[in-house]
Amino acid sequence: MRRPSDLDALQQVLCAALGSAEPVAPLARLDQDTPAFATLDPAVLERPTLIGGGSLYSPTSPVPAPHALADLARRAEALDVRQILVPGVRRSDDTGALRAAGLVPVPADPECVVRLTGEVDDVLRTRVGADRLRDVRRRHHAVSQEATWQRIRLRDLDGKPWAREAFADLHRRQAERRRPAEHGHEAGSGRATEHGHEGDGRRERDGRHLPYNADALDALAHGALADRTEMFVRRRGDTVVQAGLTITSHNGRGVYCLTQAIDHEDAAVRDDLYAATLYQLYVDARTSGLEWVHLGRGDAERMRCLGADLFVPVDHWLRAPEVTVPQDGRQEPELSRFTAPPVTTVPVPGPARFRHQPRFDTVDLTSNTNPFLGPESQYPHLDTAELAHTYLRTIAALPGHAGVDALTTDHVLFTSGAVDGVMLLLAALASPGESVCVTPPTFPLYTHFARVLRLPLVEVPLRGDDLSELDTERVLAADPRVTILCDPNNPVGTRLDPEEVHALITGTSGVVVIDEAYVEFSENPSYAALVARHDNLIVLRTLSKAWGLAGARCGVALAQPGIIEALRRLQVPFGFTDASQRAVRDRLTNAGPALASIKLIRAERRRLAAALAEHPAVDRVFPSQTNFLLVRLHKHDLVMERLRDAGIAVADTGHVIPATCRISIGNQRANDALLEALSFAL
């Protein structure tokens, strides 16, 4: 519905609704968008306004070309209308022409889209959780038992006058509930009778100001969009209790839900009908092979609960005497001061530059893919902002994550596992000759990537019996460009002293990276919340360990937006597949089993550690806040050989920490098998 021909047709519908040859109305009478204009001066609200670009029926309006804006200004002058509105423009569009024409953005609710990436129940379970899905299905079943569902092609509406009358009546009553007569705006205070706004308020009372009245419906039913438009109704007996409109997108891939009105004073019943109807629309769309349902503009939190997973920021653009043009607020994040010089001169690669520009409702001929082999032939979604929101919301509720709610989606970058994040940050932040500091014993790939990138390596070993003491002074003296800490440590399992870590973050002139791959198993807090306060801190996370998604290859880099932007400039586009995104969303949304398994792993860790500490083959069990145990063995080589002979594989860490092995915590049966094999090892 972003084609000029579609928008012209909708302009005619709006004129029919207003009973006018021109789409002119006071902003206060635009029932659907009144909240967006609530902060404007009352004089602006009551003044007649020429509505240009797309109409109020369009989910969004493409930015009119400069010549179209000039024509709009001439029309306003000829009509003696002082205000112009171009409603619902996506912020991702180039709005320079609007700004140059003197229009000002007024923030509106975002577009809300449900992408049907699978069967409806699977999609909703992933988006809203199993409990919410059961609730929606219950509502749908209850409503279906009481009221019949019917869809009517708008071309056939003339043969169903009852549907036309019910639709108009329901929308009139819905508007009365939203904006009763004593709302505070006197009908006719913006008098412009030549444009159809009588001063006696008659049109307000008979619904002529409503975008969806009988005249508008007739214009739509006899216009160019009738073949793509359907009315849906629910009837309880002979009474229509709900009526709405959907229209198929011009690319044939989705459907817009333009409106629905419900006949009930009980808010709970209205909510039941609304949720049940959206579920039915999802099912109908999926059955028809469609890929998305557009819910219109609305509150993001509410729409999330109904399955929406794409939220497109939108502004209305207004030219009014009292409203001045602000500075252009759309800017890419400023690159971090730590960005390596070559990275500052390159843009985000390829299509990733356009990740915020939605293409669900366009005819996309940019990707050179096979159009005949289904969704799998399309590249993965690049805009992962909604998944980032889900991730932050989920971890903010975990113990030890106070303050994470201060982070935004601009602080998040998904990577192909946390190891991909290590490679990205070293390449983006360190230049030849700048050193990388690691603290052995530690995860070996830090050293590997530093050497591959030909970065000088500084090793500052951990100290103490538990290998948990950071030699902060020595690290600071080395003045590394990047210091990588593994906390909780792999392969030891211990945590560093938070005071030493804080001293390093605040004292170094370089970047500190904290790899928290195992932090969910720890009783001590995460450092994630500190990202909002320190521009030289990067926290790496993964969903491979506690969240059980090693096969999905999903790492997370948390850092200030300037660092995230630097990493994005080097990241290969499309590395985070749609299948992985769905798996991650499902696991985060339905987190109960994963969180329960963490408790089981901690319990097994305590049991296994106690049993190993008493075992004659074991010299020492190191303390652990991970899902593994580092164990020093008597007769290390012999024990390792006997375990291999018994078909039990553990990680031999003897080359890093003499006479040790690292044992992952298995289930009770696997752990018992290990203990039994150890009994025969000596």
* Mean pLDDT of the 598-602 span: 97
Confidence of residue 198 (pLDDT cuts 50, 70, 90): very low
Residue 191: pLDDT over 90: no
Q: Which residues, 6+ apart, have CB-to-CB distance to 41 below 8 Å?
A: 322
Exposure b/e, 489-504, CB count within 10 A at least 16 = b:
bbbbbbbbeeebbebb
Q: CB count, 10 Å around CB of 344?
A: 11
Amino acid at 474: R
Reported confidence tier of residue 279, pLDDT bands at 50, 70, 90: very high
For 675, left (φ over 0), alpha (ψ -120 to 50), or beta?
Answer: alpha
* pLDDT value of residue 325: 58
Contacting residues for 293 by C-beta, under 8 A, at least 6 apart: 113, 114, 116, 254, 255, 257, 278, 281, 282, 285
Give pLDDT tens digits for 27-69.
Answer: 887 755 667 787 888 899 899 999 987 777 888 888 999 999 9
Q: What CATH fold (topology level) applies to the domain 597-679?
A: Aspartate Aminotransferase, domain 1 (3.90.1150)
Higher per-residue confidence, 437 vs 331 = 437
**Torsions phi, psi of 185, nearest 5?**
-105, 115
Confidence class for position 4, pLDDT limits 50, 70, 90: confident
| Cα distance between residue 73 and residue 82, in whole Å | 9
- Confidence tier at 583 by pLDDT (50, 70, 90): very high
Torsion of CA 342, 346, 348, 350, to 10 degrees: -130
Over residues 430-443, the pLDDT tens digits come to 999 999 999 999 99
Local structure of 70: helix, strand or coil: helix
pLDDT at 662 over 70: yes
pLDDT greater than 60 at residue 204: no
Mean pLDDT of all residues in 661-681: 94
Confidence of residue 239 (pLDDT cuts 50, 70, 90): very high
CA 293/CA 567 separation, integer angstroms: 33
Q: In this structure, what DSSP letter does residue 572 have?
A: P
Q: Which of 159-163, 181-185, 188-192 has the lowest mean pLDDT?
A: 188-192
Determine the pLDDT at residue 31: 58
User: How many of the other CB atoms lie within 10 Å of CB of 240?
Assistant: 21
pLDDT tens for 487-521 read 999 999 999 999 999 999 999 999 999 999 999 99
Which phi and psi (to 5°) does residue 556 adopt?
-135, 130
- Supply the CATH classification number for the domain 4-190+201-319: 3.40.630.30
Q: In whole angstroms, how far apart are CA 460 and each of 80, 317, 469, 531?
A: 76, 57, 11, 24
Per-residue H/E/C for 207-267: CCCCCCCHHHHHHHHCCCCHHHEEEEEEEECCEEEEEEEEEECCCCCEEEEEEEEECCCCH
What is the dotted CATH code of the domain comprising 375-590?
A: 3.40.640.10
CA distance 587 to 579: 12
Q: What are the helix (H) ranges across 82-160?
A: 96-100, 120-128, 130-146
Domain residue ranges in the chain: 4-190+201-319, 375-590, 597-679
The stretch 182-188 carries a mean pLDDT of: 35
Q: Which of 150, 115, 125, 356 is nearest to 255 (CA)?
A: 115
Predicted confidence (pLDDT) at residue 186 exceeds the cutoff of 90: no
Lowest-confidence pick of 184-193, 493-502, 521-530: 184-193
